[in-house]
């Protein structure tokens, strides 16, 4: 009986390894190997004059699981703006909600308005995805993880950092990843451009607050993908000031509190370079 159980386990493991090999070799694709039933709610935020239709088509066309995705287009506008009509071919996938430019918590209210028990929520702001963005996110998502990303620079992935500017916590300049040997790594801050997580985690984010504050407050792991997943214009988080809030000094250079060697190498090219960044930030 034990031999049979071991044989079944071995066959299952071998099958999984072969599946990954053939996928990465290009012989088969995700549609042929995996079928998911989870639903994804995409929130795509735009100003009234933006070409939202083209952006939505990019989101859907670059996704593998199009049938599992519903897109809510959030239009920031004033009360006098005329409503848009949705093209016929998108009417079963897309709906639009309007909100005032001056409403600070428009994101949370918009999500609450359209949320329909989807398993995951994904947010795009001033960004569009690279191909297979949904598969890449689903591959690494876990219960206590919030995936985030800032736009790539010349198709080089970046991560948002936090610095202490005389007592004011604010976003520093984007940092480039110097290596892509691993898939995801800890990030200092949730980035407004792109967020992907379980619906429960996203619904728990206070979007009227600074993402710096939310990153510090969150009990979840904020992780950044170590390969390009979006392109667009970077949206820095609003400044957050709180003299009582404790944060670790390494946030100023985008490293976790006790960074392992591979994190230092990914973000700065070498452990020595990362240590110099830490020293200079003191």
Asked, for residue 159, whether it belongs to a domain, the answer is: yes
pLDDT class of 76 with cuts at 50, 70, 90:
very high
Residue 192 Cα distances to 93, 149, 237, angstroms: 24, 8, 7
Q: Does residue 6 fall inside a structural domain?
A: no
pLDDT at 32: 42
Half-sphere exposure of 193 (CA within 13 A, CB side): 24
For 77-119, write each residue's pLDDT tens digit: 988 888 999 999 999 999 999 998 777 789 999 999 999 999 9
Answer yes or no: is pLDDT of 7 > 70.
no
What's the confidence (pLDDT) of residue 75?
A: 95
Does residue 84 belong to any structural domain of this protein? Answer: yes
What digits encode the pLDDT tens for the residues 123-165? Answer: 999 999 999 999 999 999 998 899 999 999 988 888 888 887 7
Q: Is residue 250 part of a domain?
A: yes
Domain count within the chain: 1
Contact 248, 257 (CB under 8 A): yes
Q: What's the CATH code of the domain at 47?
A: 3.90.550
Asked if the structure places residue 8 within a domain, the reply is no
Task: Say yes or no to pLDDT of 217 above 70.
Answer: yes
How high is the pLDDT of residue 6? 55
pLDDT score of 22: 45
- Angle between helix 261-268 and 271-280 (nearest 10): 80
pLDDT of residue 26: 46
pLDDT tens-place string over residues 28-54: 444 444 567 899 999 999 999 999 999
Report the pLDDT value the prediction gives residue 181, as an integer from 0 to 100. Answer: 64
Does residue 25 belong to any structural domain of this protein? no
CA count, 13 A, side-chain hemisphere, 177: 27
Whether 187 is in a domain gets the answer yes
Are the C-beta atoms of 265 and 174 separated by less than 8 Å?
no
* Percent of the chain whose pLDDT exceeds 70: 83
Confidence band, pLDDT 50/70/90 cuts, at residue 206: very high
pTM: 0.82
H-helix or E-strand containing 158?
strand 156-159
Whether residue 12 lies inside any domain: the answer is no
Provide the residue range defining the domain that includes 270.
38-280
Q: Is the pLDDT of residue 67 over 80?
A: yes
């Amino acid at each position: 009986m034990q031999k049979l159980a071991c044989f079944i386990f071995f066959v299952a493991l071998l099958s999984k390894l072969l599946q990954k090999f053939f996928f990465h070799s290009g012989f088969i694709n995700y549609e042929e190997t995996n079928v998911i039933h989870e639903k994804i709610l995409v929130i795509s935020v735009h100003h009234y004059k933006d070409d939202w239709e083209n952006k939505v088509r990019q989101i859907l066309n670059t996704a593998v699981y199009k049938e599992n995705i519903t897109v809510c287009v959030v239009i920031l506008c004033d009360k006098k703006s005329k409503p848009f009509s949705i093209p016929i071919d998108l009417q079963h996938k897309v709906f639009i909600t309007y909100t005032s430019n001056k409403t600070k918590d428009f994101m949370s209210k918009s999500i609450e308005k359209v949320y329909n028990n989807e398993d995951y929520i994904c947010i795009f702001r001033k960004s569009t995805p690279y191909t297979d963005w949904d598969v890449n996110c689903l591959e690494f998502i876990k219960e206590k993880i919030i995936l985030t990303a800032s736009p790539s620079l010349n198709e080089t992935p970046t991560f948002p950092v936090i610095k202490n500017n005389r007592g004011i916590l604010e976003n520093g300049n984007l940092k480039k990843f110097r290596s892509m040997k691993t898939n995801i790594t800890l990030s200092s801050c949730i980035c407004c451009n792109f967020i992907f997580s379980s619906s429960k985690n996203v619904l728990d984010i206070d979007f009227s607050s600074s993402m710096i504050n939310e990153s510090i407050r969150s009990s979840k792991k904020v992780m950044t993908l170590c390969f390009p997943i979006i392109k667009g214009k970077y949206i820095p988080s609003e400044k957050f000031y709180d003299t009582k809030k404790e944060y670790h000094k390494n946030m100023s250079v985008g490293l976790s509190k006790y960074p392992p060697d591979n994190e230092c190498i990914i973000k700065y090219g070498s452990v020595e370079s990362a240590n110099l960044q830490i020293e200079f930030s003191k």
